[in-house]
Amino acid sequence: MKKAMAILLTIAILCVTGGWSNPQRNEAEGGFSLIDYLETHKVESYEEFEAIISSVNPDQVEMIDPELVSDFCITIDYDNQIVSVLTIEESRSITSGVTDTASKSYYNNLGLKIFTISLTATFHYTTGSSSTASASGSFTPASMSTWTSTPTISMGNFSTTVAYARISGTATSGSSSLSYSLTMTCDDTGHLNSY
């Protein structure tokens, strides 16, 4: 019994750390490949993506309330066999400014979330100028994930009319490493963009 539990724990750790993210090996074993699925199916909403992840890994569901998501974008990193999902929450207007939150979750090819980065920024704007009033962010490893990082938060201006806030860094797990970043911008009309 102890040997079986040790084997299951080893399998769980390999999955979470990305140790089994080679799609050819997954196909040969008849396993799920998130990248293959995304290449052959059009995912049109965050709720649809959430349903895919929860059907493959019901214990890994740590999703954002879909009602709060105003936009999302899926990106595939083929070199690292990682899928990132950017979610943008509805912005809140403040006096002569706007506050917004964006998150980017990273999944291995088995559909297991490995970590999430989040960025919240407040911008002030008037015709002809924009500035970042504050920015905060976080790096959160998924449950049972061994990925760690200390992110850097920066803010400033790309020009007088476009301000930005950014979270960036490198996550590590054993001998694996993965660079990440999430940037939010606001122009002098209050238009927000995240990438």
pLDDT at 64: 63
pLDDT at 55: 85
Regions in the chain scoring below 50 on pLDDT = 1-29
pLDDT at 1: 37
Q: Read off the pTM.
A: 0.76
* Segments making up each domain of the chain, as ranges: 2-194
pLDDT at 28: 40
DSSP-H helix ranges across the chain? 2-16, 23-28, 34-40, 46-56
Backbone angles phi, psi at 75, to 5 degrees: -125, 135
Backbone angles phi, psi at 153, to 5 degrees: -110, 130
Is the CB of residue 35 less than 8 Å from the CB of residue 77?
Answer: no
| Separation between Cα atoms, residue 15 and residue 59, nearest integer Å | 13
| Separation between Cα atoms, residue 93 and residue 101, nearest integer Å | 12
| Separation between Cα atoms, residue 73 and residue 103, nearest integer Å | 11
